[in-house]
């Protein structure tokens, strides 16, 4: 446990575009809205968040590695990398941190290539199809398993 109680919220490729296109799938909230929601949900439980969005797989890998010892848990929406990245799977497996995988949309009701996530096998919990409220659920779930 870090002294302050930190949750790392990682968002992957294209999630910086939230709210600007495809509202029927992803809603109208922006990434800033998502990050504010996460900060509020964490604060309600006495935690703080570190929010990072990147379109680059290596940046996400570096953040996961850096989380060991500096964060207490991880919420991750790796976007399309979820369906392709063994490297992100390995990075999450290498850190001993409670992890919740989030997808805004119900990936199982979409194209076949979205049905499998390399992250799900190493996440403690997977939340799909709850819209951006999935991030709040993810933080509440993490907090429920972390000492505080
Ligand atoms: O449902 C999710 O949260 C996803 O992780 C979102 C990814 C997609 O590749 C995954 O299959 C499911 C895509 C994020 C793209 O977000 C956009 C938002 C607005 C406009 C365009 C893209």
pLDDT over threshold 90, residue 140: yes
The CB of 105 under 6 Å from ligand 1? The reply is yes
The strand order across the sheet containing 73-77 reads 48-53, 6-11, 73-77, 98-103, 125-128
pLDDT over threshold 80, residue 2: no
Q: Tell me the CB-side half-sphere exposure of residue 76, using CA atoms within 13 A.
A: 30
Mean pLDDT of all residues in 131-143: 98
Residues 6 or more apart whose CB falls under 8 angstroms from that of 39 comprise 48, 49, 51
Evaluate whether 135 touches 142 at the Cβ level (below 8 Å).
no
Atom in ligand 1 nearest the alpha carbon of residue 77: 5
Q: What is the pTM of this model?
A: 0.97
Predicted local distance difference test score (pLDDT) of residue 38: 98
Predicted local distance difference test score (pLDDT) of residue 19: 94
* pLDDT tens, position by position, 114-130: 999 999 999 999 999 99
Atom in ligand 1 nearest the alpha carbon of residue 19: 19
Residues 6 or more apart whose CB falls under 8 angstroms from that of 120 comprise 101, 126
User: Where in 60-136 does DSSP place strands (E)?
Assistant: 73-77, 98-103, 125-128
The CB of 127 under 6 Å from ligand 1? The reply is no
pLDDT over threshold 90, residue 112: yes
* pLDDT tens, position by position, 72-103: 999 999 999 999 999 999 999 999 999 999 99
Evaluate whether 9 touches 48 at the Cβ level (below 8 Å).
no
The CB of 81 under 6 Å from ligand 1? The reply is no
Predicted local distance difference test score (pLDDT) of residue 148: 75
Domains and CATH numbers, the chain: 6-145 (3.40.50.9100)
Kindly give the distance from the C-alpha atom of residue 64 to the centroid of ligand 1, in angstroms, as a whole number.
Answer: 20
Is residue 103 annotated as part of the catalytic site, yes or no? yes
* pLDDT tens, position by position, 36-78: 999 999 999 999 999 999 999 999 999 999 999 999 999 999 9
The H or E element containing residue 26 is helix 23-26
Backbone φ/ψ region at 131: left (φ over 0), alpha (ψ -120 to 50), beta: left
Predicted local distance difference test score (pLDDT) of residue 3: 66
Residues 6 or more apart whose CB falls under 8 angstroms from that of 40 comprise none
């Amino acid at each position: 446990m870090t002294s302050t109680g930190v949750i790392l919220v990682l968002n992957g490729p294209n999630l910086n575009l939230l709210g600007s296109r495809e509202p029927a799938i992803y809603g109208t909230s922006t990434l800033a809205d998502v990050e504010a929601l996460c900060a509020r949900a964490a604060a309600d439980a006495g935690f703080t968040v570190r929010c990072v969005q990147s379109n680059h797989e290596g940046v996400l890998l570096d953040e996961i590695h850096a989380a060991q010892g500096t964060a207490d848990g991880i919420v991750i929406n790796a976007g399309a990398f979820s369906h392709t990245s063994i490297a992100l799977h390995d990075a999450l497996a290498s850190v001993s941190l409670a992890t919740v995988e989030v997808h805004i949309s119900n990936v199982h009701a979409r194209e076949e290539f979205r049905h499998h996530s390399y992250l799900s096998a190493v996440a403690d919990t997977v939340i799909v199809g709850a819209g951006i409220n999935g991030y709040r659920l993810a933080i509440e779930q993490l907090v429920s398993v972390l000492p505080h």
